[in-house]
Amino acid sequence: MSASGVRLPDADGRVTGTLLVLHDVTRLRRLEQTRAEFVQNASPELRTPLTAVKGALEALQGGALQDAAQAGRFVNMAAKHVDHLVELLEDLSQITRLSREEGGKVYVRAFRDDSRAVFEVRDEGCGIKSRDLPHIFDPFYRTQAGRTMDPRGTGLGLTLVRRIADIHGGTIDVQSEVGKGSTFSLCIPAA
């Protein structure tokens, strides 16, 4: 668990509350451990198939190319190890992508603006495409991440936030830029 907090002053500077944010960092710690293990294991995992491919090519250059049976054996061996390298690189690519998603920062702030309390949440994530922005508060709407839907969400979270804002006479707004992140602003009348 990670925690951070900030005092919330009123217009006269008196502390009227405290905002405490708790983060469950379990997934992030697991990801960091997985990434560290991958890096530790990657060197020998990459070296073994590369050495085998190099050996097969050297054998072919050294004359095995003249013997069809030998040549076929060495080509098949090289192909098998190249397939293994492709799998390793795909794993690395996935870990890198997950690291970016999990490793971004999220900033939370609360302040009073005239007669409203404003709560802002800003992230450094992938952002939301402009074609999705008009729909993100619709029930069950989920943006597409690449070619597949994100299975983690139900498409109800932002709908509920908008409903809470409506109940309290407030508004919810989002500003987003693809590749840079999003800022959600919840504004409710201050008491």
Query: Is the pLDDT assigned to residue 94 strictly greater than 70?
Result: no
Provide the residue range defining the domain that includes 68. 29-102
One domain for residues 55 and 111? no
Does residue 178 lie within any of the structural domains? Answer: yes
Does residue 2 lie within any of the structural domains? Answer: no
Query: Is the pLDDT assigned to residue 72 strictly greater than 60?
Result: yes
One domain for residues 79 and 64? yes
Question: What would the two tokens of residue 118 be?
Answer: 């404003």
pLDDT at 153: 56
Amino acid identity for residue 10 in this structure: D
pLDDT at 15: 86
One domain for residues 135 and 181? yes
- Please report, to the nearest 10 degrees, the dihedral formed by the alpha carbons of residues 62, 68, 72, 74 taken in order: -20
Average pLDDT of the residues in 54-71: 91
**Which range is most confident: 31-35, 40-44, 48-52, 70-74?**
70-74
Does residue 18 lie within any of the structural domains? Answer: no
pLDDT at 101: 54
**Which stretch of DSSP H or E encloses residue 177?**
strand 171-177
Average pLDDT of the residues in 19-42: 74
Confidence of residue 62 (pLDDT cuts 50, 70, 90): very high
Judged on CB neighbours under 10 Å (0-12, 13-18, 19+), 5 is exposed
- pTM of the entire predicted model: 0.47
Q: How many domains does the chain have?
A: 2
Does residue 169 lie within any of the structural domains? Answer: yes
pLDDT at 46: 76
Does residue 23 lie within any of the structural domains? Answer: no
Confidence of residue 150 (pLDDT cuts 50, 70, 90): very low
Average pLDDT of the residues in 36-43: 67
One domain for residues 93 and 119? no
One domain for residues 171 and 111? yes
DSSP characters for 149-161? Answer: E-TT--S-HHHHH
Q: Which residue has the higher pLDDT, 77 or 140?
A: 77
Query: Is the pLDDT assigned to residue 135 strictly greater than 50?
Result: yes
Percent of the chain clearing pLDDT 90 (strictly above): 15
Give CA 182 to chain center in angstroms.
Answer: 13
Average pLDDT, the chain: 80
The set of residues, in sequence order, having a beta carbon less than 8 Å from that of 20 and lying 6+ positions away, is 3, 4, 5
